[in-house]
Chains A and B, each alone.
Chain A
Amino acid sequence: MNVNRRDFLKIGMLTAAATTFTACGRPVEHGVVSQYQMPEYALPGQALFWASTCTEFRSDCAVSVKTVENRAINVIGMPGHFFSKGYAGKEAISGLQVVYNPGRIKEAKGGKVGDDGELKESLAVTVAQEALKNEGAVLFVVDRVAGMAGHALVQAAKAVGGKIWIADSEQSVRERRILKAVIGRAELPYYPLDQHDFVLSIGSNFIAENYCRPRVEWSFGRFRRTPGHLRGRMVSASSRMNPTDVCADRWVPVAPGSDATFLAAVGTLVALKKKASWPSWASVSVTDAATKTGAPAKTIEQLAERLVEAEKPLVVGGFQGASGDATVFLAHTLTKILIGDVPTFEPDMLVGSGSVPQDLFLSDQDVVSFLGAAKVVVLHGIDLVYRYPWLAESFKKVKTRAILATSPNESTDSATHLVPQRFWMEDWGDLLVESPEGAWYGLTQPAIRNQVPAAVSALGFCLEFAKAVGVADVTEVNPRKALQAGRAPADWENMLVRGGVWAEEEDIMYPNRAAYPPPAIANSGKPPKGYSAFKEIAPLKVSSLGAPAKDMTLVLLPTHLADGAMADRVWLQELPDAMTTVVWDSWIEINEDWAKENKIARHDLVEVKVGGKSLKGSAYPSPFIHPGAVGIPCGRGQKRQILREFVDLGWDPEGENPKELLDGSAAESGYFNLTASGAQVVKGKGSKILATFDKRVYDLPRHILPE
């Protein structure tokens, strides 16, 4: 788009006036400008805000990227957005460190990529040709399929007879299939806590790790403090306290692997009181459950009574324990008995039209055999070697290994075709969400120039790949033009300014919004058409509570680094863990009473042995973990992702990858077991200091807040 000098001066003055209101955290929609005018609008010292959508997780927060002189310096939530409520998570903000990561992948391997602006994704065509030559032996490993890129990917996979493995650590496909079995809809659970009065959380860290984080956190704030000061109540049960359990009024520790048994006993009582049907394999007596879980029988009975009495209770289950399938299944079943349905939403609508065969998506167990026979594997957003070490050897034997990645990871060295990928702050993309409050369409648009000239657009790659394999409705490979196609110029401009199409609501946190000037452009336009990729997916039948644990159980602990994907963000490496306050390292968490009996103190080196494998680390005796569990945090132990600039020579803090201890076996449902029983903890020699914040001068005692 050409702007002549006269228009430039007019628009420049308007923008300068608009941006004076936006530099200090006030609502920014009137300062948000279209990316079209960049860089002429880069006034020295004046902040500009670019509407975009963060795609770090399924949260899909509508954000505003603050830039100064074409440098992205902050990410804030988009005020007034009805879904993300004007908030963005730490993942969105820490994305700045990915954009400006000195260790970012700068060169492609195995083919050519275009210069900035030309978008000649030749590598996409190269890989597509390999896929066409090897029809039926192509595997796509992604973290999600959504938006226009998801449509292109799904249709391309169909065209080459390939399969898709959604290897997301959130286990969304697994949960969809369980919900399909319980309520007939293969969507994802939605937790509007502000609409509930009593919540039971079993083996779940849902407040910190769920499909719509800022929204759940916002609703938790309302859940706690409502206009009538009726505070919502929450009880949680797990084998190791996590941040969600901290938020509960009471945490009930249960033996590892017995989460489902605990829930089964509660559900049996509730179903009896409600005269509802309950799975026979999940009928457990209170006495039996109390024996197996270690929880008091009275607690189980009282929980059932409170759930029945509550006006709108909610039961949330997590996959954390060995009995994850049963826990999640029973949680949704119980919610349905109590309130008639399970609240759900669909954050991964594909933009376009088409159908998806039921068997396009592989379960974890299916991947093991398929990977062995695959000739082409395309990884997008997945560090397969780190996340699933038991698949690494099979992966490295595949003839064509194409990886799209922004930062190096444990898998990128093995790529035959390495495609440097643009980060979302530099890229075009879209997504479509259908929620109970309505549909919204998020546009990801570049807020800054592409920092790595060789990096390509993920959407552009998917479009070019799809076109090359003959997907009929993909004709435009330029991502911006593809997103703009069919839109009226005013609607497109509006989408650029706002970051999509969504309902707006007032910022009611501070009620004096009338003081601010109204937005220059009214929100208009309609979301594009979409379809669900999972509508016809097979339901997951669950028929057992899981096998009882033997000896100690290895439990993977959630951290800020997610499943290792965020290890290149030094802010998150230096951010203290929520429960242990450890930074830059991993630890081996054991119950403090058990540690005392076995004469293990903090920082002592210990060895964890599971099925012939072992790893060592510093012990962290803790009151937050069951004596039968040993916890090791996820996300540590990378060698390639961590920025060496921040790791001094002689200091070896990378930690350990706990998944090295897993054997890759699958649960009854066909999904990988992310826990292991039969673990042993042996005290080693010597010690290694853990960098922690607690038990030092910062440890302010609890009595500091007087009653």
Chain B
Amino acid sequence: MSASEKGTAVSDQWGMAIDVDKCTGCKACIIACHAENNIPVVGAEQSAMGRVIHWLRIDRIEEGSYPNVSADFIPMLCQQCGSAPCESVCPVFASTHTHDGLNAQIYNRCIGTRVCANNCPYHVRMFNFTTPTWPEPMNKMLNPDVTARSEGVMEKCTFCVQRIRRGNLDAKVEGRKIVDGEIRPACVQSCASEAIVFGLLSDPESSVSRYLEKNHARSALVHGELETRPHVIYLRAERDSEVLEPRPIGLGARKAADSKPVASTTEQAAAPVAATPTPVAGTTPASNP
């Protein structure tokens, strides 16, 4: 099947930008993910054993000690690594890579060795140690678009691949390309502070690419030194340590800079920018120097 018949180009690579400066730690993204992806509740005892399943978690990282302590909320999910450490160790190839940059977990191939989770430096792979249950009538809220996993199977964030595939299919049926913003994973859709931006990293005109371009100075890869080539790029919080020192602040300069009503960063990012080289498929725009 040719690229055009598939509805996406072979070089399309999905990715995400997470702006730590905007994350409020509300965890709406986690609950949205649970609802969308049929993530089971393991219960109190299994949780105490460290077996809780969250495809997306919010790491609270602190710096300093009382009274000079600060903290950040950092959403952590499968980085959909271009060079994934989990893919090379699976003995049955249940962990594979798709043509559009996703790390896929094939549930019915998985035999539960957990070697992939052992190799994942981000600790984002979750194993079903027990049989997931949804006591009646809770099973009614399962999403039919997503497989419910069984005991002994590894699972992790898929970037809501069901939404991506549905979007691909719709675009193919209608004979058009995917429109930027058309496909949003559940976490992106629920993030009220718009801290998560999703789209095609391979498209320099996409909102996520422009957002990263505009905020390049703050961009960072978690465990970038491991050369995993993650498709999730973080934008560091710019905590102002001199917030109480005299300095110009104010809406006045904001108004002078842009006379339009306050708009999203992505809209601002859609304004013409200097030309940037087209990223090579499988790599990220903000790579390590």
Contact = CB atoms under 8 A, between A and B. Distances in A.
Interface of A: 20-21, 23-26, 45, 68, 71-77, 85, 87-90, 93-94, 96-97, 99-102, 194-198, 207-208, 213-215, 217-218, 220-222, 224-228, 230-231, 233-235, 241, 243-244, 246-247, 249-251, 253, 294, 299, 302-303, 305-306, 309-312, 451, 507-513, 515-516, 560, 570-576, 578-579, 581, 583-585, 591-593, 623-625, 627, 643, 645-648, 650-651, 653, 689-691, 693-694, 696-702, 704-707
A303 B170 contact: no
B144 A45 contact: yes
A509 B244 contact: no
B140 A100 contact: yes
Contacts of B188: 25
A192 to B, nearest CB: 10
Top 5 A-B pairs ranked by shortest CB distance? A510-B181, A228-B257, A221-B193, A217-B192, A311-B250
Given A90-B30, A214-B192, A224-B22, 9 more contacts: A90-B190, A96-B35, A97-B138, A222-B262, A241-B71, A250-B240, A646-B42, A700-B74, A705-B234
B288 to A, nearest CB: 9
B251 interface: yes
Contacts of B258: 227-228
B135 interface: yes
Contact of B262 (A227, A244, A591): A227
A93 B32 contact: yes
B26 A218 contact: no
A101 B170 CA distance: 35
13 contacts: A87-B191, A93-B35, A94-B31, A196-B251, A228-B257, A309-B249, A311-B252, A574-B41, A623-B66, A646-B41, A648-B43, A691-B47, A700-B122
Contacts of B41: 570-571, 573-574, 646
Given A73-B35, A217-B192, A303-B244, A225 B180 contact: no
B114 interface: no
A698 B123 contact: yes
Query: Which of B72, B162, B263, B266 has the most chain A CB atoms inside 10 A of its CB?
Result: B263
A197 B254 contact: yes
B141 interface: yes
Contacts of A89: 26, 28, 192
Contacts of B195: 221
B90 to A, nearest CB: 20
Interface residues of B, number: 115
B57 A222 contact: no
A73 B148 CA distance: 14
B221 to A, nearest CB: 9
Contacts of B30: 90, 575
Nearest to A652: B44
A312 B251 CA distance: 7
A102 B47 contact: no
B151 interface: no
A73 B142 contact: yes
Interface in B251-289: 251-254, 256-258, 260, 262-268, 270
A508 B140 contact: no
Nearest to B240: A249
A227 B263 contact: yes
Contact of A68 (B24, B136, B144, B186): B144
A253 B239 CA distance: 17
B227 interface: no
A85 B137 contact: no
B28 A90 contact: yes
B21 A579 contact: no
A231 to B, nearest CB: 6
A222 B44 contact: no
A225 B265 contact: yes
A508 B246 CA distance: 34
A49 to B, nearest CB: 13
B61 interface: yes
B245 A302 contact: yes
Given A585-B44, A705-B20, A102 B141 contact: no
A508 B187 CA distance: 18
A491 B89 CA distance: 60
A208 B26 contact: yes
Contacts of B44: 573, 583-585, 646-648, 651, 653, 691
B24 A247 contact: yes
Given A249-B240, A310-B250, A73 B141 contact: yes
